[in-house]
Structure 1
Amino acid sequence: MTTGLDTEVENTPASTPAPRRKRSGGGLGRYILVRFLLIIPTVFILMTVVFFLMRITGDPITAALGGRLTPDQLAQRRAEAGYDRPLIVQYFDYLGGVLQGDFGMSYTDRTPVTEILTTYGGATFELVVYAVVVALVAGVPLGMIAARTRDRWPDAVLRVVAILGYATPVFFVGLLLKLVFSAGLGWLPVAGRISTRGELTMGSILNPSPFYLLDALRLGRVDVLIDVASHAVLPAIALGVLTGGIFLRLVRTNMIGTLEMQYIDSARSRGVSESRLTTRHALRPALIPIVTVMGMQIAMMLGGAVLTETTFEWNGLGYMLAEYMKARDYVAVQGIVMMLAVIVALSNFVVDVVAALIDPRVRY
């Protein structure tokens, strides 16, 4: 017998499941637009901070020529460069030039900053790509092995390796690699992007690109390709070890959590082998955190590229940034830092969009 109270309870809205909220295309489009627009204030704030911080140390003309010119000559040089004007005036002049695509001209070598960015940006991009490949090739398989051998000696060894990987300074790893494989064994070049002979050979290419590996492939010379690749090995390892250790820990942690889920137990009860469970069922969920932190890792790699390029005399933006900072070349430093900020912001934007598409936990 059914009472009126029972009928009322059965018909209450709480007894019916709430409809699932579907993602709409407009929501995704709005999310992408907002994330893209956030790039503008990010770059603007960093550009402003760098502009004023660089001027705290004094102007480059006084630093370079202070002891060799009379005070009148020094004042004349500062006036010609515009460093005698109020900072706020200099800032708005620089900002106006940036909005027009004019990043100025470096003081030390009188080179347009846009030319510096196009000339040396390709080298840094190439190095970061090599380092990402090293990090993925080393970190993902080792993380899988650590997860499958949880709490056994291979897992303990790999966890120590991961800690050493992301805790050891990049320049120390670079110097150690040079000491062992270049100075000691003589297997690999000690510095540079290519040998002098290879650079002369590459000079025969019409319309060369800033990417040596691509030009070597266009040239079709195996010896030049080997030359380029051998120069890239040690810098790529030195820069990739840091991110490789982080990837190892991420893959291990997330794969252990995935292997303990119910659907993995169900597949195991059906006789699915452990290797297939690891590679086919648990690997993809474990890679999602790598995608979500890739933007941050690229930022760390660009920071490490300054030390790596300086250690291996790899003529990229990091190497030139260190040189221009020593010379207190405001204009060149500002342009390079802003370019690096744009790269990091765009990388984070792409990573956020990819994460929103592949990870159901991301909400927009």
Structure 2
Amino acid sequence: MSGADRATTTQASDGAGAPAGSSGTAPAPAARRARGGGGGLGRYVLVRFLLIIPTVLILMTVVFFLMRITGDPITAALGGRLTPDQLAQRRAEAGYDRPLIIQYLDYLGGVVRGDFGTTYTDRTPVAQILTDYGGATAELVLYAVIVALAIGVPLGMIAARTRDRAPDAALRILAILGYATPVFFVGLLLKLVFSVGLGWLPVAGRISSRGELTMGSILNPTPFYLLDALRLGRWDLIVDVASHAVLPAVALGILTGGIFLRLVRTNMIGTLEMPYIDSARSRGVAESRLTTRHALRPALIPIVTVMGMQIAMMLGGAVLTETTFEWKGLGYMLAQYMTARDYVAVQGIVMMLAVIVAVSNFLVDVIAALIDPRVRY
């Protein structure tokens, strides 16, 4: 055998006999993930966080140009109240006589500086509107999420345990009605029954007039009425705030509660048919324990993964809910400014709602990755 042949044979035998992970052989994908598991989560979180920027930018751009289809904001808001010369002067002062792309770049520059413009109907800075009314919407969505979980999780468990029996069929019909009924119709029905008919709960608002006067005396108030009432330690205020929040929260939470019910039912049925559940059942573990201790957590993972989308749906429903119950949040103000065709205010509010949705999706993705590491890859 020649020297070249012996060298080739030696290299082949060395490569075949080298242990996995040496320089002669690339490490297996599982081994790479095992060594860099922490990096997988960090990279996942970083990517999801960076996606917030293009998401908000795209939506802000779409809203900006859609608002300009019907003309400039000054003409839209004040066209019937000013003469043509006055309109032209106001348009020139605001810079709306410049090319559209220049207006867009100026708007982006203002957003980066925290300047979202000033409304044309009441001359209020949009940033002030966001800070004054954003807390009310966040509080309402939080209440609605609690209602949705309180409805969807236990009823979904009951539907799974009574699969294909009368309670299951009734709960599935209830879930369909929950997410198919318009939120404003549910709100009006709840007001008619519990406010007008029975007189148990207030018709509208976040708090009574007397409670609002008391809240005005708080130093450094928060945007959340319930938190301020707890800070004061006044049970009458706590009851006042909670009673005003019941009907709006239920009206907004029923829709998502129906979706959660179906998700919990479907996933719990699949979990209850897993081999480890059959093994526990054969050892005499009670069905109630199997449902609450062994099958519930896997069934909740899909709820976590879709929570961001549900929050987006709740923010959309908040416009109708806040208008129905005169709950003065961003949704209520958005409806008012849309009616007045004040597009500067509409742009700012929609952009803030987009930021809330994007951040909520980011947080939900991180929680889902912590609960189920498979979503990182």
What TM-score do the two structures reach when normalised by structure 1? 0.93
Give the CA deviation at 1:358: 1.0
Task: Give the match's secondary structure for 2:202.
Answer: coil
Give CA deviations for 1:152-201 in whole Å, capped at 9, x if unaligned: 00000000000000111111100110111111111111110001011011
2:148 equivalent among 135, 139, 147: 135
**Hey, what's the Cα distance between the residues in 2 that align with 1:104 and 1:68?**
21
Give the CA deviation at 1:114: 1.4
1:47 equivalent among 48, 56, 60: 60
Given that 1:213 and 1:225 are in contact with CA atoms closer than 8 Å, whether structure 2 keeps it comes out as yes
Paired position in structure 1 for 2:275: 262
How many residues are matched? 350
Give CA deviations for 1:74-101 in whole Å, capped at 9, x if unaligned: 2112222222222111111111111122
Task: Give the match's secondary structure for 1:110.
Answer: coil
Q: Structure 1 residues 184 and 19 mapped into 2: Cα distance closer, same or farther (>3 Å)?
A: closer
**Hey, what's the Cα distance between the residues in 1 that align with 2:40 and 2:340?**
48
Give the CA deviation at 1:145: 0.1
**Hey, what's the Cα distance between the residues in 2 that align with 1:273 and 1:69?**
76
Paired position in structure 1 for 2:92: 79
Paired position in structure 2 for 1:332: 345
Where in structure 2 are the equivalents of 1:231-246 lying within 5 Å? 231-246=244-259
**Hey, what's the Cα distance between the residues in 2 that align with 1:325 and 1:82?**
22
Where in structure 2 are the equivalents of 1:40-189 lying within 5 Å? 40-189=53-202
Paired position in structure 1 for 2:8: none
Paired position in structure 2 for 1:4: none
Paired position in structure 2 for 1:222: 235
**Hey, what's the Cα distance between the residues in 1 that align with 2:46 and 2:39?**
10
1:312 equivalent among 298, 303, 325: 325
Give CA deviations for 1:280-300 in whole Å, capped at 9, x if unaligned: 000000000000101111111
Paired position in structure 2 for 1:200: 213
- In structure 1, the gaps of 5 or more residues are 1-10
1:201 maps to a residue whose letter is: T
More displaced 10-residue stretch of structure 1: 80-89 or 174-183: 80-89
Give the CA deviation at 1:268: 0.5
Which of structure 1's runs of 4+ aligned residues deviate more than 3 A?
17-21
Give the CA deviation at 1:18: 9.1
Matching of residue 277 in structure 1 with residue 277 in structure 2: no
2:140 maps to a residue whose letter is: L
**Hey, what's the Cα distance between the residues in 2 that align with 1:19 and 1:77?**
65
- In structure 2, the gaps of 5 or more residues are 1-16, 20-27
1:83 maps to a residue whose letter is: Y
Matching of residue 210 in structure 1 with residue 220 in structure 2: no
**Hey, what's the Cα distance between the residues in 2 that align with 1:356 and 1:71?**
58
Give the CA deviation at 1:68: 3.6
Q: Structure 1 residues 68 and 327 mapped into 2: Cα distance closer, same or farther (>3 Å)?
A: closer
2:50 equivalent among 22, 34, 37: 37
Given that 2:40 and 2:376 are in contact with CA atoms closer than 8 Å, whether structure 1 keeps it comes out as no
**Hey, what's the Cα distance between the residues in 2 that align with 1:165 and 1:259?**
26
Task: Give the match's secondary structure for 2:229.
Answer: helix
**Hey, what's the Cα distance between the residues in 2 that align with 1:207 and 1:254?**
45
What TM-score do the two structures reach when normalised by structure 2? 0.90
Give the CA deviation at 1:19: 5.6
More displaced 10-residue stretch of structure 1: 327-336 or 114-123: 327-336
CA-based RMSD: 1.7
**Hey, what's the Cα distance between the residues in 1 that align with 2:273 and 2:98?**
66
**Hey, what's the Cα distance between the residues in 1 that align with 2:82 and 2:129?**
29
**Hey, what's the Cα distance between the residues in 1 that align with 2:229 and 2:297?**
35
Paired position in structure 1 for 2:368: 355
Given that 1:202 and 1:219 are in contact with CA atoms closer than 8 Å, whether structure 2 keeps it comes out as no
2:185 maps to a residue whose letter is: F
Give the CA deviation at 1:71: 1.7
More displaced 10-residue stretch of structure 1: 303-312 or 52-61: 52-61
1:329 maps to a residue whose letter is: D
Q: Structure 1 residues 19 and 347 mapped into 2: Cα distance closer, same or farther (>3 Å)?
A: closer
> Sequence identity of aligned pairs in percent?
87
Give the CA deviation at 1:60: 3.6
Give the CA deviation at 1:57: 2.0
Give CA deviations for 1:20-42 in whole Å, capped at 9, x if unaligned: 64252112111111110010000
Task: Give the match's secondary structure for 1:190.
Answer: coil
Given that 2:119 and 2:125 are in contact with CA atoms closer than 8 Å, whether structure 1 keeps it comes out as yes
Paired position in structure 2 for 1:6: none
